[in-house]
Chains A and B, each alone.
Chain A
């Protein structure tokens, strides 16, 4: 009870912290660690607690961002499938590379089918990820299956790489009784317990600070029980979402709490119709990482190998010294429309899109690499495309035929248990449906009205 502590500063925010946090990973006990560094006469460095390594200068100069070159973009393999980083050694055998390729192909074949299905009114909504398949598949391949993942919504490739089947995709898209989300979420809001991927939610960037917290949880769980292997959290978001306050909160808190989290930004040039020129004026997202004290890299998102390499390295770094965050900015181009509710030719030239498709796309690049290695050719390509398309259509029609989840599902899981209020409301709905049977179609719901029995 030392109220004299309050000697100054506490109409909250009226004061800066008096703590000097040394940059050591792990934990500092921050009982009154008031910075005791006093300014010595003639000292060449500032001893203000807020910036302890800053040298004095008598030269008045503002830091001008444009004086600095843009952060470079790492590439392992060029557009033609040739290795350009001589120190890079591909670490996957033929079979594994083919599997990653097929994952990308699967998504790129499922996407247009489902896009059209939405156009025909068979599902309510869809989002494709054309041009970004290597980011999600490449990074996912470098994670441990036990690592925890938070997504934004354009990471179908990650789900596929981790083992989400076409059946799983379709059950969610059609919101049938096998959908883990129990038909409550919009299409594309996938989630999986087995694959350690949290269910996607629409609000942008909310998952980023959550990932920091989840990473802190994994860190604590490993400390509490060393038999639990050390794990990381990977979190995906677009460059538009990085403008949200939650991005700022997340990176800052991950740095100050030393959380083993990998922030993966998909910078695809657009947020719906907004080009990056209207999104930020700094050097992309990567340049911000430095300001938070976070190790950062920018990578060519069309190069699966490069994405895989940086993620592998980032995972090692994130687990070093008891844990720390890493930021990856993966550059790409959003070849497709933003979603089925968007016609992107309203704000960008068709030509630009065609150019990107032709000039550089992640699937063609890996295919060239495989062909150069001699384990892929035209006939394999044809066979793969045909069989995947068959599987997509089969899963599609099976999922479409399934019943929808029981109506009572709408009341469940709001709380752990149904509250008396919710039970009463379920009862009210049941009476209402009985009273007006011609006004509602209950046939497609598993169990019909009977599921509403208390």
Chain B
């Protein structure tokens, strides 16, 4: 489904990096030239069309819309906006953070030359090799190093090249970063300055180790804030919030959107609130709760379902998946009585489990439920190369989920 994005004129059209990474690495030119086009969809598909990022209502296609965002501070609203894709927005946020605070440092594997996804382009040139640098290839080292920096008052922004490779750093994140403030107690030390960025999510052909979304593993850890933006404008504001936040933040970037999602982004610095969900579309019959890339899938499914079924559906972006905005979700579900949680990662003990349990546990929300809370998510498997399209929730599955909720 995904490669069609490379044929659309972007700021600088070129083959998506991920293709370079995944195709050019160890395969011969012969193999390369017989590239399968993963983005085709069945000729008669009505629902499962590739997401059209150029028309989706989730992106601000004009600077007017971008600057009218009510969450922006006045100075950002009065500034200008510029077309950016997601990696450019991340890059912009990092530039601002480095410029405004000398304690901010950016490091990880291959960040010096701009990063394998271009997120750190020109930063080493502009801010110096002392503040933007490559580390040896060791995730536990990167994380431990970042924790030490933050514990001594710096604001490190560490990059893990793919979320799939965060596990060697899991001990440092869980036992150290998350618990630092708690165990230090009255000394007042913490690693609140730490932000960890990692590309995550399916990309059409990432298979087992370039597709994972391990966010729910981090949501089981008190002390961490776990954030996943859906778009360039969101990414810039949420990343600046994460860097300025005094709690350690895990910032997950849906890599499929790096080049695909393009929108107008305010040029001046601004932050967006953490632990606040956003209602992207009002509705009265069903609530759909999601975050990250699947929101585009949900949005497309909502359009079709509303046309076909004559209902109105509310769409909520959690944005911060932990600690998450329960009130916003409860309020919506009390109104609609039906709800569905959609995420890419596997269904078992995923974000959907936490959201669904909290909804049925809240007395005022439980009595308003007209149907069981449903979860449309990845199956309890890994991301298999040739079967990704059957695993990640697509428009048809979300559409059918809405139908089932209404038929209950």
Q: A185 CA to B179 CA in the complex, in Å?
A: 11
Contacts of A206 in B (CB 8 A): 144, 171-172, 175-176
Contact flags (1/0) for B5-31 with A, using CB distance below 8 Å?
000000010110100111011100000
Shortest beta-carbon distance from A237 to chain B in Å = 13
Q: A1 near B118 (CB under 8 angstroms)?
A: yes
Shortest beta-carbon distance from A26 to chain B in Å = 8
Q: A210 near B148 (CB under 8 angstroms)?
A: yes
Shortest beta-carbon distance from B303 to chain A in Å = 33
Contact flags (1/0) for A202-228 with B, using CB distance below 8 Å?
010010111111111110110110000
Q: A184 near B183 (CB under 8 angstroms)?
A: yes
Within 8 A of A (CB), among B97-137: 102-103, 105, 109, 112-113, 116, 118, 121, 124-125, 128-131, 133-137
Q: A221 CA to B155 CA in the complex, in Å?
A: 12
Q: A225 CA to B50 CA in the complex, in Å?
A: 53
Are A31 and B124 also in contact (CB < 8 A) when A201-B175, A415-B247, A416-B181 are? yes
Contacts of A30 in B (CB 8 A): 112-113, 124, 129, 133-134
Most-contacted residue by chain B among A28, A223, A414 (CB, 10 A) = A414
Contacts of A443 in B (CB 8 A): none
Q: B149 near A14 (CB under 8 angstroms)?
A: no
Within 8 A of A (CB), among B172-216: 172, 175-176, 179, 181-190, 192
Shortest beta-carbon distance from B184 to chain A in Å = 5
Q: A249 near B140 (CB under 8 angstroms)?
A: yes
A408 at the interface (CB under 8 A from B): no
Are A214 and B24 also in contact (CB < 8 A) when A249-B141, A256-B135, A414-B182 are? no
Contact of A253 among B138, B156, B172, B246 (CB under 8 A): B138
Q: A181 near B183 (CB under 8 angstroms)?
A: yes
Closest residue of chain B to A181 (Cβ to Cβ) is B185
Contact flags (1/0) for A412-436 with B, using CB distance below 8 Å?
0111100111000000000000000
Which of the four size classes fits the interface of chain A? 35 or more
Contacts of B131 in A (CB 8 A): 220
Contacts of B136 in A (CB 8 A): 249, 252-253, 256
Question: Please, how many residues of chain B have a CB less than 8 angstroms from a CB on the other chain?
Answer: 76
Closest residue of chain A to B27 (Cβ to Cβ) is A11
Closest residue of chain A to B118 (Cβ to Cβ) is A1
Q: A181 CA to B184 CA in the complex, in Å?
A: 5
Contact flags (1/0) for A237-268 with B, using CB distance below 8 Å?
00000000110111011001100000000000
Q: B113 near A31 (CB under 8 angstroms)?
A: yes
Q: A10 near B20 (CB under 8 angstroms)?
A: yes
Q: B187 near A250 (CB under 8 angstroms)?
A: no
Contacts of B26 in A (CB 8 A): 11, 14
Q: A198 CA to B180 CA in the complex, in Å?
A: 10
**Which of A126-134, A186-194, A335-343 lines the interface with chain B?**
A186-194
Q: A27 CA to B147 CA in the complex, in Å?
A: 21
Contacts of A120 in B (CB 8 A): none
Most-contacted residue by chain B among A224, A249, A420, A421 (CB, 10 A) = A249
Are A199 and B144 also in contact (CB < 8 A) when A6-B21, A10-B25, A193-B189 are? no
Q: A201 near B179 (CB under 8 angstroms)?
A: yes
Q: A19 CA to B151 CA in the complex, in Å?
A: 30
A8 at the interface (CB under 8 A from B): yes
Q: B129 near A198 (CB under 8 angstroms)?
A: no
Q: B20 near A213 (CB under 8 angstroms)?
A: no
B153 at the interface (CB under 8 A from A): yes
Contact of A191 among B24, B112, B187 (CB under 8 A): B187
Shortest beta-carbon distance from A288 to chain B in Å = 15
Contact flags (1/0) for A292-304 with B, using CB distance below 8 Å?
0000000000000
Contacts of A3 in B (CB 8 A): 14-15, 17, 20
Shortest beta-carbon distance from A132 to chain B in Å = 24
Shortest beta-carbon distance from A417 to chain B in Å = 9
Q: A203 CA to B143 CA in the complex, in Å?
A: 15
Contacts of A155 in B (CB 8 A): none
Contacts of A218 in B (CB 8 A): 152
Contact of A10 among B24, B130, B135, B327 (CB under 8 A): B24
B146 at the interface (CB under 8 A from A): yes
Q: B20 near A253 (CB under 8 angstroms)?
A: no
Are A213 and B156 also in contact (CB < 8 A) when A179-B185, A184-B185 are? yes
Q: B128 near A27 (CB under 8 angstroms)?
A: yes
Q: A108 CA to B321 CA in the complex, in Å?
A: 50
Are A1 and B183 also in contact (CB < 8 A) when A416-B246, A420-B326 are? no
A384 at the interface (CB under 8 A from B): no
Q: A317 CA to B275 CA in the complex, in Å?
A: 46
Contacts of A221 in B (CB 8 A): 152-153
Contact of B24 among A8, A13, A215 (CB under 8 A): A8
Contacts of B148 in A (CB 8 A): 150, 209-217, 233
Contact of B171 among A180, A203, A216, A220 (CB under 8 A): A203
Closest residue of chain B to A14 (Cβ to Cβ) is B25
Shortest beta-carbon distance from B132 to chain A in Å = 10
Instruction: List 12 A–B pairs whose Cβ atoms lie within 8 Å, in order of A's numbering.
Output: A3-B17, A10-B116, A12-B161, A19-B134, A181-B183, A193-B189, A209-B140, A214-B148, A217-B154, A246-B171, A246-B172, A253-B135
Interface residues, chain B, with chain A CB atoms under 8 Å away: 12, 14-15, 17, 20-22, 24-26, 102-103, 105, 109, 112-113, 116, 118, 121, 124-125, 128-131, 133-138, 140-154, 156, 161-162, 165, 168, 171-172, 175-176, 179, 181-190, 192, 222-223, 225, 246-247, 275, 323, 326-327
Q: 3 tightest A-B contacts by CB?
A: A213-B148, A209-B144, A249-B141
A29-B125, A217-B152 given; name 19 further pairs at CB < 8 Å: A3-B15, A10-B24, A11-B25, A14-B25, A29-B124, A30-B124, A31-B125, A193-B186, A193-B187, A206-B175, A211-B148, A213-B144, A213-B156, A252-B138, A253-B142, A413-B181, A413-B184, A416-B246, A419-B275
Interface residues, chain A, with chain B CB atoms under 8 Å away: 1, 3, 5-15, 19, 27-32, 148, 150, 179-182, 184-185, 189, 191-193, 198-199, 201, 203, 206, 208-218, 220-221, 223-224, 233, 245-246, 248-250, 252-253, 256-257, 413-416, 419-421
